[in-house]
Every structure is written in C-alpha cells, then in structure tokens.
Structure 1
Amino acid sequence: MKSNMTVISLVFILFAALALLVAALMLVSSKRDSTYFRWTSSLLSPVTETLHAWILDYPELARLDNEKNSAVWRWFQPGLVDKKFDGQKIFLQTLHESVWYHNQRGPMMYRYFAGDGELSARIKTRKSSDLSSFPDAEWQFGGIIFRDPKGDAWFARENYVFNVIGFRRDKLQLEMKTTRDGRSDVSAIDWPSGDADLSIVRRGEVFTIKAKSFDEPEWQVLAVYNRPDLAQVLQVGVIVYSFSEGRRIFDLSAQVENLRLKQH
C-alpha cells in the first residue's frame, strides 16, 4: 500500500512539474517571434494544433457558416479595436499597437470557409485623429486575409496570405503578404490614396491578390502565392493593424464596405 502511494505521489509530482514547465514556457515565450518561442513551438505545436482542430472541428464550423449564408462572423483579439456597424458598413478604429507580421497577430473579424472562392471588400483608411485625412504615420493598414485556423492553438506558427491598403513607413501603399510557419514575405506598391477595392481569390493551392481604384473597371493582379500547405478550411475576413515598433502610434480608422465571399 505504501509503495502504491509513493508511485502515485511521484506521478502527481511529475505532472505538476510538467504543468509548471508549460506555464513557464508560455510566460517566457510571450514574444512570438523569439527563437525560444520557435524552439518551443517545434516541440509542442504538433500536439496543440491537432487538439485545437479536433476540439473545434473546422469543417463543421465552415459548413454551419455556409448554411447561415455568411452570417456567422467571429472576432480574434477584439480588444484591440473599436467596432461600429452601420447597415452593410463596418467601422474599425485601432486602440492599441499590433501587427500581422511573422508570428505576431493583430485583430481580425472572420468566418470559416472551405474550398475555392473569392473574398473582396472596399476598404477606406483614414486617420482616427482626423477622419478627413489618409493615414500618414508608421504602419497603418486595413484589408482582408485568408488564415489557417491552427494559428489559434498554443505555440502555433502563423500561416496566411493577406491584402491590405494604408500607410507604410513614408507613403501610401498596397501591401501583400504571405506568411509560412511564422515567417513573412512582404511586397508592396505605391498607391494614390488610402482607398482601394481588394480581392483574394483561392483556387486550390494558388492565391491571387488583386486590387483596383474605385473608378477602375478592371482588377490589377498584385501577387500570386502558391501555398499547398494551407488547409482546405481557412478563416477568411477583415484585418486592421497599427504598428510603430513600440512607439505606441495607432492612428487608424478603417471603413469596410461591400464585404463579399463567393464560393467557386
């Protein structure tokens, strides 16, 4: 009897020690781009991502969203933005500094979507401090995204493609980004304003990023990303972010109109 109690005590101690270790790793790994986080992620993410996918059942969520005619929209990190809705228009104002880059994440309004399709929206970006002016400081962006939902799991690495409009360093630009396992590849082009119609089209493993001015009839192809690693079911939706490398400059108000998701 005493021997059994000793074994049980040892098992309890081992589990307690493991729990403390995980808690410590979570605390130390709060900087998601750090080498330490990546090392921890390589060990733990296969388990946490599998559990996350099993618990949430992404295909079932996508089926429900489709059946409800795109009515089920969710929020990721909603505390980073102020949100207002006026009919079919969405107004988002950044309240804190954040960024979608490498393994860092900002706020996102999303739903689940399976298979091929196109997400498009009309995005108007302004300074929250002066709604008559385009953004003019640091990085201030609004746009659309296709993201792997496994990124929500503990110690997961980000995988997504996005298309945004706003201010980048010293000029107004469109920015396109593909992020694989928490590493981002970024491209950008100059744009005459802080407004644009944006589109992302998925066909199999190919994602086509497009944009146009409001008065243009034809779309301009900005980038084509081959992403065979991205899952069949993804989160699709709207993102905004304000980033200033820790200088706490967040001055963005984004208006979203004509948000459409079409199955192909």
Structure 2
Amino acid sequence: MTFMRNFRRIGGLLTLAMLAAQPAAAQMRMQPPPGAAPPSAALNDEFDGDSLSPDWKIFHAENGWPNKIKAMDVGKTTQGALHLEPYDSAWVRDLNAPFLYKILQGDFDVRARVRAKGANGDIPAGTWSLGGLMARVPNGLTEATWQPNRENWHFITTGVGFEAGKTMTETKGTYNSYSSLKLRPYQSGWVELRLVRVGMAIFALVRPDDKSPWVVRDRFYRMEGSPFMQVGLIAYTTSPDTKPGPENAAVTNRQVSKELPVDMTLEVDWVRFAPAKPAPVRDWYGQVNGTNPLTNPNITDAEILAAIGD
C-alpha cells in the first residue's frame, strides 16, 4: 500500500511537472485569439459587394509573411464572387499559401460554393492547383518567430492534383507538420464543400449542388484541446517551371516566385458559417473511449450524415 501511495504521488508530481513544462505556444492555443467568435450567420459572406469585407483575416498580412496572392478581387472579374489567384505555393507540411479566414470558437459547420479554373479553360492547366476550405489551429507564430513542425490543420479542396487535366477533391490532415492526403476523382465546375467540427471529430464533405446529397470525403480525429480554429478559404498551385529539389520551408515560405508561370483561379460564390449539431458526449474521455459515436472509426457515412444533418 505504501508503495502504491508513493507511486501515485510520484505520478501526480510528474504530471504537474509535464504541464508546467508545456511550451508557451501550446498554452496560448487555449487563449482566445483577437476576433474569435462562435460560428454564426453573422460571419457569412455572399461576395455580392465590390471589395473584401474587413472581417476577413489574410494569413500573410496577419503573420508577416510575403504576399503569395497573385490577384484578388470581389465582384470585378466574376460578378457576385471572390476571385483569387495564387502564386506558386502549397499548403503541405510546413509550407504555406494564400489563406483568408475567420477565427471560430467551438464546433462549426462551414460551407462554400467554389470552382477551380484556369485563365482560358474550365480547369487549371497545371498540377497541384486546388482551392477550398481549411480549418487551422492557431500556433501563435509569425514570420519572425517561425518554427518547424508546428502546423496543424485540415482541408477539403477541388481542382487538379497530381495528374494534369484530371479534376478531383483533395482532403488533407496535417499534424505537427506531417501531412497525409487523399485524392479522389470529382467533377469540374461549381461544387459545394463543407467542413464540420464536432468535438474531436472533423468531417470533410462535397456535393455538386444544393439539390444533391452530401458525400463524406474524409474524416479526421484529433486530440485538440483548443476550442479555436482559423477557418476559411485557401488556394495553391504549382508552376510547371518549379525546379525539383529538397524542400526547405524556412526559405520557400519567405520568397514569392512571381516569375514562375501559373494557371489557377479559385472563385467563391459564397461561404456560410453555422454551429455544428452538438455531440452527444462532450467530455474528452467519452470522445476517446468510443462513447461518442462520431469519434468511432467504424461509424458509417450514413450515420455521420444523420448525426451532422443536411
């Protein structure tokens, strides 16, 4: 008994020591970032004006990175839509690209009607040219304080992936800058994308229009304690003239290769924010021991759709 009491006491002290040793950035993830708000219709954007609403945050401007947006306008190139063209860039591992976002607190259900196209065609001309919705965990880092292995986010995009001329969706989850992706064939043109966060589960969905049923494209499970995420629109592309070589995010993130030819445009008709349906179990243990069905890897797509709603 004495041994067990001492064992528990030592274990408790070790736990306290581990919590005290957590990096400041990890603790900061629990603090409300400026502008954080619960998801609601007040955050919606129909892009029916002639300029970008000031309540959008732009990743490079907020964090001191170079501007990798080649062109952007609202209602000028395409009436009633956001027009966004990226320079050669990528959201993968530690690399970053154009990102317009709002900071959400708590669970969310975010949808957007988008299309990825080329300057002279219905689809981007190159490869790895996609755009859509992303949810990123703020890490408190700027260009000046950047560190590797600190990226955590999930997305669903539409466009052209590894094979030129073939349109698809790309879903990607990144954990401490380790990225895992899925490419699945899908139609070109206007599509609706959706990201839903419910506790420790995030679901990525797609459909061609509002008269069609949602299709689950991916599901992610993450032990993420922070209630805050940056949620919004991304676009990225690879130039055919990009030279192969070892990846160095510390260099690539700090440069804009404006001379490289690119052909990728993301158009966004609208983006809409709403709270997600609440999970049946909210405590962390219930979400990891299988009590919450949404964090059960064996749950079917039909069960997911029934739980999160249309």
TM-score (norm 1): 0.73
Match of 2:103 in 1: 112
**Greater strand content:** 1
5 Å matches for 1:92-241? 92-94=84-86, 96-128=87-119, 130=120, 132-150=121-139, 152-153=141-142, 154-155=146-147, 157-170=150-163, 171-214=166-209, 216-229=211-224, 231-241=226-236
Indicate the residue corresponding to 1:62 in structure 2: 36
- Which one-letter code corresponds to 1:146 in the other structure? A
Instruction: Point out the structure with the larger helix share.
Output: 1
Shift of 1:215: 6.5
Q: Is the 8 A contact 2:194 2:204 kept in 1?
A: yes
> C-alpha deviations, 1:25-54, integer Å up to 9, x for none?
xxxxxxxxxxxxxxxxxxxx934x258659
- Structure 1 position 46 matched with structure 2 position 23: yes
**How far does residue 101 in structure 1 lie from its aligned partner after superposition?**
0.5
Partners of 1:91 and 1:256 within 8 A in 2: yes
- How many angstroms does 1:139 deviate by? 0.9
Taking the aligned partners of 2:99 and 2:266, their CA distance within structure 1 comes to 13
Aligned length: 213
Query: Identity over aligned residues, as a percent?
Result: 24
Q: How well do the aligned residues superpose, as a CA RMSD in angstroms?
A: 2.6
Q: Which amino acid aligns with 1:172?
A: T
Distance 1:249 1:58, change over 3 A: farther
Are 2:108 and 2:197, in contact at CA under 8 Å, matched by a contact in 1?
yes
Matched to 1:69, the amino acid is A
Distance in structure 2 (CA, Å) of the matches to 1:74 and 1:58 = 15
Report deviation, 1:228: 1.7
CA distance, structure 1, for counterparts of residue 105 and residue 89 of structure 2? 28
Change (3 A) 1:93 1:231: same
Structure 1 position 117, deviation (Å): 1.1
For 1:100, what is the secondary structure of its paired residue? coil
Deviates more, 1:243-252 or 1:186-195: 243-252
2:62 equivalent to 1:73: no
In the alignment, is the contact (CA less than 8 A) between 1:242 and 1:249 conserved in 2? no
Query: What does 1:6-45 align with in structure 2 at a 5 Å threshold?
Result: none
Q: Deviations over 1:150-176 (max 9, x none)?
A: 163421511000000000121211000
| Residue in 1 that maps onto 2:262 | 250
SS of the residue corresponding to residue 206 of structure 2 reads strand
For the pair 1:259 / 2:248, whether they are aligned, the reply is: no
Contact 1:148 1:233 in 2 (8 A): yes
8 Å contact kept, 1:138–1:249: no
Q: 1:229 offset after TM fit, Å?
A: 2.4
TM-score (norm 2): 0.62
Sort the Cα spacing of 1:164 and 1:66 in 2 relative to 1 into closer, same or farther, 3 A: closer
SS state at 2:139 partner = helix
Structure 1 runs of 4+ aligned residues shifted over 6 Å read 65-68
CA distance 1:122–1:51, shift in 2 (3 Å): same
- Segments of 5+ residues of structure 2 without an aligned counterpart are 1-21, 44-52, 62-66, 244-259, 277-310
| CA separation of 1:214 and 1:66: change in aligned 2, threshold 3 A | closer
Are 1:123 and 1:143, in contact at CA under 8 Å, matched by a contact in 2? yes
Structure 1 runs not aligned, ≥5 long: 1-44
